[in-house]
Amino acid sequence: MCSVLQRGVPSRIVVLASGNGSNFEAIVNAVRSGELSAKIEMLLVDRDCYAIERAKRLKVPWEKLEKSWAESLKKRLEELNPDLVVLAGFMRILPAEIVERWKWKIVNIHPSLLPAFPGTHAIEKAYEYGVKVTGITIHFVDEGVDTGPIIFQKAIEIKKDWTLERLEEEIHKIEHQYYPLVIQKVLEGRWNIEGRRVILEEDIG
């Protein structure tokens, strides 16, 4: 795959969120600390949510998509023309047209080891199911729900005394740690695709 990085020009990313926005904030912090070499062009949200408060505090430009969010998103992405679209708790299924247009340029993070527990409430579902190991998955977005080619996964063991709240905390900790690192690798273009297997040139973590 070709690198989207051009010498001296930081890659431009657009983040999409619908909720708390803690991953968005972790990405902003990684950019500011130099861990992630990119410019956050815009936070786009589809509803009123706490991510907006974070964007205001962090002084990152943000916009709420208009009512027909898909049309509005399609238009804004064309105008902003980012190198990468980063889904960070965006609670919508992207229309096939957008997925096709931005193929290999949309990433998502999911709080389970896919293909286990896709969809909403994944942490709770894994906990209630009684799995002993769970984790996070970062993947390219395709037309399905959490079905795109997997870029990175990190597993954690659920200790027997952990509550659901503790598991949520531990999951978010690793999300915040690894999402910026994976975004950096994707932007550097140091990966290849074989079938649906994403091969990173170098391991992460």
List contacts with ligand GRF (CB under 6 A). 17, 19-24, 88-89, 109-111, 175
Closest CB 92 distance from ligand GRF, rounded Å: 11
Q: Which is nearer to ligand GRF, 17 or 187 (CB)?
A: 17
CA 1 – CA 23 distance, rounded (Å):
26
Please give the torsion angle defined by the CA atoms of residues 198, 199, 204 and 205, in that order, rounded to the nearest 10 degrees.
Answer: 90
Q: Which is nearer to ligand GRF, 90 or 102 (CB)?
A: 90
Strands (E) located in the chain: 11-17, 38-45, 62-64, 84-87, 106-110, 133-140, 150-157, 191-194, 197-200
Q: Which is nearer to ligand GRF, 44 or 109 (CB)?
A: 109
Residue 204: beta bridge partners?
none
Catalytic residue among 110, 121, 139, 172: 110
- Determine the residue with CB nearest ligand GRF: 89
Sign of CA pseudo-dihedral 117, 44, 174, 102: positive
121 an active-site residue? Answer: no
Q: Which is nearer to ligand GRF, 5 or 156 (CB)?
A: 156
Closest CB 110 distance from ligand GRF, rounded Å: 5
Sign of CA pseudo-dihedral 107, 113, 119, 124: negative
The residue whose two tokens read 């340029």 is 105
Closest CB 111 distance from ligand GRF, rounded Å: 4
Closest CB 11 distance from ligand GRF, rounded Å: 20
Catalytic site positions? 110
